[in-house]
């Protein structure tokens, strides 16, 4: 018998599409800036030297991450008190409008220094938006996923992230191939931002039908105050610290490969736009396809156990970056494709891992604050640090930096597991469970976060 439009299965698919679509658009808009930075930088941050202009544009990319904690602090408690759905509508609206405005922004030749200032302002708005979007997505994964499939759905959300990244790099590749470097630098980059804004408005329409997952069973009305939200975070300060470093390590891997290496290839080594965007798109496609399967593996062996062991295995793997230390198309292709093998396990289910460290009544705020700080401190500076180290001739320091972040994140996760435990269960209309369950450390094997069916 076929699936009807109003059946639970169809409803689940539509609602996950609305959440995942927003995740894709947010990451598309976010990634597009990093990919186009080397092309539009001279128009907004003119300096007379391509590398200097690119570094300035990437610095703005980093500064915009500072707005993420503000978004988490202001909008996160509302999501934990009022509900998840209103904030999901607000976040995608801000991101979409800002993207459209960037596409129409006058250059420094027309309005002088104000062009750069407006670019910074719009990027700050986008940072404010994604500061609450990311933890909302992580909360939805934990609160809506069927029993025993938390990591699988986290992988599906990561696939949506990769889809946004793939769309950004594919559109950049298509524009570069069609228009050439000169037209791309002059005006072609604007097309990508117009597309992102239009897609965001479409996802906004889809999200009108999303369910509310913050129920009275999870957080009674009497407990829905800002003080209660922040009280829960204070009680889970070690979990918050773990989230910061888990996210930091994840983002440095992601941005190092997705924007840092491509920007280095363009600004430092002078590789062609067609090669850069073509290989970046291929790498992203591999991650997109493999992320759900990485999640399935984590559900089978245990979310926490898989997280710990794959993070430890990633430490020696990041040193493949050292293969790209001089201009070489072959080395660039090899490093990017090896990154496609490393990233699925680094990215696929970390959102589910961090979401289970916080209880429902403080989840969006706690995850959002930890996520935003981790991204602002580590992810937002990754591309800049990579290009800067490459320009200084000490590129080899970057993999050491990544390895240190990964090791610290694993240590803090284990300590948080033993200190305050994990929070599992969901209450949304799509969930099969009725209570949130706190799993303390002595109920699990060391280093392993049990999946929902354990």
Question: How far apart, in Å, are the Cα atoms of 340 and each of 287, 334, 346?
Answer: 6, 10, 10
Whether the model clears a pTM of 0.85, i.e. scores above it, the answer is no
What span, in angstroms and rounded, lies between the C-alpha atoms of 289 and 381?
28
What span, in angstroms and rounded, lies between the C-alpha atoms of 257 and 136?
25
Q: Is 143 exposed, middle or buried (CB count within 10 Å of its CB: 0-12, 13-18, 19+)?
A: buried
> So where are the chain's domains?
11-211+233-443
Domain 11-211+233-443, architecture per CATH: Up-down Bundle (1.20)
Backbone φ, ψ for residue 437 (5° rounding): -115, 125
What span, in angstroms and rounded, lies between the C-alpha atoms of 212 and 82?
10
Per-residue pLDDT of the chain in tens (454 residues, 90 and over written 9): 343 334 445 556 677 778 888 888 888 887 787 777 777 777 777 665 556 666 666 666 666 777 878 888 888 888 888 778 888 888 889 988 988 998 888 877 788 778 878 888 888 888 888 888 888 888 877 777 777 778 887 888 878 877 887 788 788 878 878 887 777 777 878 888 899 889 988 888 888 877 776 665 555 554 567 778 888 899 999 999 999 999 998 888 877 777 767 777 777 777 777 788 788 778 878 887 888 888 888 888 888 889 999 899 888 888 877 777 676 778 888 888 888 888 888 878 888 899 889 887 888 899 989 988 887 788 767 767 777 777 777 777 888 888 899 999 999 999 998 888 777 654 333 333 334 445 444 333 333 443 333 3
Residues 6+ apart with CB under 8 A from 179: 188
Locus of tokens 């030749």? 109
Question: How far apart, in Å, are the Cα atoms of 155 and each of 186, 361, 451?
Answer: 38, 24, 14
What span, in angstroms and rounded, lies between the C-alpha atoms of 228 and 266?
49
Task: Count the neighbouring beta carbons within 10 Å of the beta carbon of residue 181.
Answer: 14
- Name the DSSP class of 379: I
Interior CA angle at 317 toward 165 and 303, to 5°?
A: 70
């Amino acid at each position: 018998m076929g699936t009807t439009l109003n059946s639970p299965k169809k409803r689940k698919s539509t609602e996950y599409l609305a959440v995942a679509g927003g995740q894709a658009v947010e990451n598309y808009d976010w990634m597009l800036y990093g990919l186009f930075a080397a092309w539009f930088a001279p128009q907004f941050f003119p300096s007379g030297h391509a590398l200097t202009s690119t570094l300035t544009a990437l610095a703005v990319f980093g500064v915009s991450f500072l707005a993420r904690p503000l978004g988490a602090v202001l909008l996160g408690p509302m999501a934990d008190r009022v509900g998840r759905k209103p904030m999901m509508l607000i976040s995608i609206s801000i991101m979409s409008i800002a993207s459209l405005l960037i596409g129409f922004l006058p250059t420094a030749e027309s309005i002088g220094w104000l062009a750069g200032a407006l670019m910074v302002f719009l990027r700050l708005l986008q940072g404010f938006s994604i500061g609450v979007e990311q933890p909302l997505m992580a909360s939805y994964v934990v609160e809506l996923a069927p029993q025993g499939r938390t990591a699988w759905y986290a992988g599906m959300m990561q696939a949506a992230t990769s889809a946004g990244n793939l769309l950004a790099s594919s559109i950049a590749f298509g524009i570069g191939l069609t228009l050439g470097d000169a037209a791309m630098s002059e005006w072609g980059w604007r097309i990508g931002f117009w597309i992102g804004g239009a897609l965001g408005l479409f996802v906004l329409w889809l999200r009108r039908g999303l369910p509310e997952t913050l129920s009275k069973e999870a957080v009674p009305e009497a407990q829905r105050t800002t003080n209660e939200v922040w009280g829960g975070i204070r009680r889970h300060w070690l979990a918050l610290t773990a989230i910061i470093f888990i996210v930091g390590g994840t983002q440095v891997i992601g941005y190092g490969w997705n924007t840092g290496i491509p920007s280095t290839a363009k600004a430092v080594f002078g590789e062609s736009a067609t090669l850069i965007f073509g290989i970046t798109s291929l790498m992203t496609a591999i991650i997109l396809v493999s992320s759900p399967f990485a999640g399935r593996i984590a559900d089978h062996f245990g979310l926490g156990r898989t997280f710990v062991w794959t993070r430890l295995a990633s430490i020696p793997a990041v040193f493949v970056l050292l293969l790209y230390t001089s201009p070489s198309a072959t080395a660039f292709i090899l490093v990017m494709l090896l990154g496609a093998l490393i990233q699925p396990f680094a990215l696929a289910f970390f959102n589910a891992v961090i979401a289970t460290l916080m209880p429902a009544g403080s989840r969006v705020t706690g995850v959002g604050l930890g996520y935003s700080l981790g991204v602002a401190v580590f992810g937002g500076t990754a591309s800049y640090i990579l290009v800067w180290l490459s320009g200084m001739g000490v590129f080899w320091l970057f993999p050491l930096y990544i390895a240190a972040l990964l090791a610290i994140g694993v240590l803090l996760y284990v300590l948080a597991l033993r200190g305050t435990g994990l929070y599992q269960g969901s209450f949304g209309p799509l969930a099969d469970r009725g209570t949130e369950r706190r799993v303390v450390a002595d109920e699990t094997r060391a280093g392993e976060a049990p999946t929902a069916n354990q």
